[in-house]
Amino acid sequence: MTLMKTCIGLTAVAAAVATAACTKGAVTNDAASGNNGSALAQANSAGATDPIASAESAAPASIAHDATIMMADASGAMKTLRQGHNGWTCMPDSPATPGPDPMCMDENAGKWAAAWIGHKPPPEGVVGVMYMLEGGTDASNTDPYATKPTAENEWVNTGPHIMVVGSKEILARHPSGPKPDTSVPYVMWAGTPYAHLMVPVGPAASR
C-alpha cells in the first residue's frame, strides 16, 4: 500500500499524497522532500493526459467526485488540481510504476501514511481506508521501504482493492509473506508498524 504506491500497495507517490491529506489540502514543498519527492516529480512529469479523470478512477464516484485531487509539479512540490470538500484526497496514476495505480485515501489514512513516510509510529486507534480500484504494484510485500524488486521479493501485482490501515485487530488470521495470493485478503508489511490489510474487490492481477 505506493508518496501508497502501496495500498496504499503504497509507494512514494502514495506517501506524498498522504502527507498532503494530513494538512487538509495545503500545498507545501515539505510533503515532497527527499527521495519520495524526487520519485513523485519524475512520476508526474510525464503525467496522465487527464490527471483528474485518472485520480477519480481510483474510488467510487460518490467519493471521488468531491475529493481533493493532488499531484506533483515539475519540482516535486505537491499542488492541488481541485479542492474537494469530503475529506478524501485522490492522486492520478504514476507512470513510474509498472502498472496503473491511482489512489484515494481518507484523512485517517493520510495520517497513517504520513507516519510511514516519516519513519514514525502510526497514530493509535486511527483506522483509515484507501481505494485503488485500478489495481496497483508494489516492490515488496514485506519491506515498507523497498524501492525495487529483488531476487527474493519480486513485484507484487494487485487487482482492484481497498486497504484498511491503522488496525492491528483486522489483520488476524489473514495470510502474508513475500508473494501473497492477491485474490484473497492478505496482510502487507506484516510484522512492521505499517502492516495493513489488502482487500481485493475485483479480478486479481496476473502474478
Q: Cell numbers of 175, please?
A: 495470510
Q: Is residue 4 part of a domain?
A: no
Q: Is residue 205 part of a domain?
A: no
Kind and range of the H or E run holding 117: helix 107-117
Average of per-residue pLDDT values in the chain: 78
Q: Is 166 left (phi over 0), alpha (psi -120 to 50) or beta?
A: left
The domain tally of the chain equals 1
Q: Is the pLDDT of residue 117 over 80?
A: yes
Residue 21 CB: number of other CB atoms within 10 A? Answer: 32
Q: Cell numbers of 109, please?
A: 489514512
Residues whose CB falls within 8 Å of the CB of residue 123, separated by 6 or more in sequence, listed in order: 111, 112, 115, 166
Q: Is residue 5 part of a domain?
A: no
Tell me the pairing of strands 78-82 and 89-91. unpaired
Tell me the pairing of strands 136-138 and 89-91. unpaired
Most confidently modeled range among 23-32, 86-95, 121-130: 121-130
At residue 145, the pLDDT reads 92
- The DSSP string of 176-204 is -SSS--TTS-EEESTTSTT-EEEEE-SPP
Q: Is residue 207 part of a domain?
A: no
Helix 12-22 × helix 107-117 angle, to 10°: 120
Q: Give the pLDDT band (50/70/90) at residue 203.
A: low
At residue 186, the pLDDT reads 97
Range from 20-34, 85-99, 159-173 carrying the lowest mean pLDDT: 20-34
Q: Is residue 6 part of a domain?
A: no
HSE (side-chain half, CA atoms, 13 Å) at 20: 37
Q: Is residue 59 part of a domain?
A: yes
Q: Is residue 169 part of a domain?
A: yes
Q: 3-class SS at 114?
A: helix
Query: Could you list the residue range(s) of the whole structural domain that residue 190 is in?
Result: 12-200
Q: Give the pLDDT band (50/70/90) at residue 137.
A: confident
Q: Give the pLDDT band (50/70/90) at residue 15.
A: very low
At residue 204, the pLDDT reads 54
The answer to whether 71 touches 47, Cβ cutoff 8 Å, is yes
